[in-house]
Amino acid sequence: MSTSAIRSVSDHVKDLRDAPSHWIDTAIVVAFHDRFEFVREDCPDPSGLLRSLEAHGGVAIGLAGIYPAESSPGAFLAKVFPEFEGQAWMHRHMDRLRRIVSKNVDVAGPAHVVPYRAQRE
């Protein structure tokens, strides 16, 4: 990945605000070596929080949210930021997040990681 491919905090916050309207509990996923942190859509200062998390070693890797369903709790969805598409380390992080969600949250069905480009539907 070249340095020019790295997007800004403002870009990521814009992505959060532009997330599909049918998603609920949408957040920016910030990966650390040993954990995940989230910048939620209802955060009063998402730029400040994301900058702080990045200053402490976190990397914003994508968006996550729940696609609600009438007859079940919904499905976990994640969209990878374009600068990380196709990178194995990022997919390992998203797989780990999917496993955490499936074990700890009452979400029906499999988790889905979808290409970032599909977000703008």
- Listed by start position, the domains of the chain span 3-120
pLDDT at 2: 40
Pairing relationship of beta strands 75-80 and 36-40 according to DSSP bridges? unpaired
Q: 76 and 94 in contact (C-beta within 8 Å)?
A: no
Name the region of 63 (left: φ>0; alpha: ψ -120 to 50; beta: rest): beta
Its sign, for the CA torsion 80, 84, 98, 10, is negative
* The predicted structure's pLDDT at residue 7: 85
pLDDT of residue 113: 43
pLDDT at residue 74, as a whole number = 73
The tens place of each residue's pLDDT in the chain, 121 residues long, gives 444 467 899 999 999 999 988 888 899 999 998 899 999 989 999 999 999 999 999 999 999 998 887 766 678 888 889 888 888 888 888 888 888 887 766 544 444 444 333 333 3
